[in-house]
Amino acid sequence: MKNVLISGANRGIGLATANIFKSSGFNVIATARKNTDIENLSQQGFISSRLDVSESSSIDELYSELKDKDLLPDILINNAGIAHVSLLSRLDENQLQNILDVNLKGSILLTKKFIRNMSKNKFGRVINVSSILSSYPQKGFAAYSASKAGLEAFSRVTALEYADKGVTVNCIAAGFVNTDMIQGLSNSDVLKSQIPIKNIAEAHDIAESIFYLASQRNITGEVLQSNGGLMMKP
């Protein structure tokens, strides 16, 4: 049975992804920062653990815990992410640092920690949850967009480095999804009208795309767009 590690699994895309893997028979290590979320995940039947991807010590502790339990992941899903809407001139440096630490640095450190074991086993899947905002600019998302564009670049390089070791590395660029972030946008109805299929995605739509990437051995270094046709090329 394969082990799947998901960061930020307490809600939204992370929780939907945890559910789809659990229902398919995987051991799912679902992580969160808050004790209440960890307990909730445990009650839902997941192997729940604390993880703050912005803290290298937290990553080290999780690695030791999973190694001791023989649960090092075969599939890593870097889903944890935060956003703060602010025009660049008003962006606080601490907010900028937090976004980069969680969305980019955290994913890099988590991948770095666990990919060596995948390489040793000659099997691994790393799936990084990116965003349409890495290439579809929206006002107020300079830091967030930069973090996701960096995540995609990191994925391509890592995919190249591990391509001959049985490890694939890909991104899923989620479009506008019915989560807390999209609900906070004042122009969500305008965005919906621009999407060719006229629907804002649900978390399970993105989870299904993540599950698809995890099943593929011949796709690596790619960014799979899941946005209802919003980024359709002419």
- Per residue in 5-56, pLDDT (tens digit) is 999 999 999 999 999 999 999 999 999 999 999 999 999 999 999 999 999 9
Contact 132, 227 (CB under 8 A): yes
Gap between the Cα atoms of 156 and 124, Å rounded: 15
Which pLDDT belongs to residue 176? 86
pTM flag (> 0.75): yes
How many residues can be counted in the chain? 234
Is 3.30.70.260 the CATH number for 3-226? Answer: no
Q: How many other C-beta atoms can be found within 10 angstroms of the C-beta atom of residue 4?
A: 30
Token pair of 178 as six digits: 């019915």
Q: Which tokens hold the place of 32? A: 């969160």
pLDDT digits (tens, 9 = 90+) for 130-181: 999 999 988 999 999 999 999 999 999 999 999 999 999 999 999 888 876 6
- In this predicted model, what pLDDT tens digit does every residue of 51-110 receive, in sequence order? 999 999 999 999 999 999 999 999 999 999 999 899 999 999 999 999 999 999 999 999
d(CA 186, CA 142): 17
Looking up tokens 């989870």, which residue turns up? 207
According to DSSP, the residues that pair with 124 across neighbouring strands are 167
Question: Tokens 């989560």 belong to which residue?
Answer: 179
Q: Which long-range contacts (C-beta less than 8 Å, at least 24 apart) are formed by 130-134?
A: 130/155, 130/171, 130/172, 130/173, 130/174, 130/223, 131/81, 131/173, 131/174, 132/173, 132/174, 132/175, 132/176, 132/225, 132/227, 132/230, 132/231, 134/173
Q: Residue 203 — pLDDT band, cuts 50, 70, 90?
A: very high
Which three-class secondary structure state does DSSP give residue 170?
A: strand
Query: Is residue 202 within 8 Å of 183, Cβ to Cβ?
Result: no
- Active-site positions read 144
Q: How confident is the model at residue 187 (pLDDT cuts 50, 70, 90)?
A: low
The residue that leads in pLDDT, 228 or 42, is 42
pLDDT on residue 147:
98
Measured between alpha carbons, how far is 62 from 77 in angstroms, rounded to an integer? 15
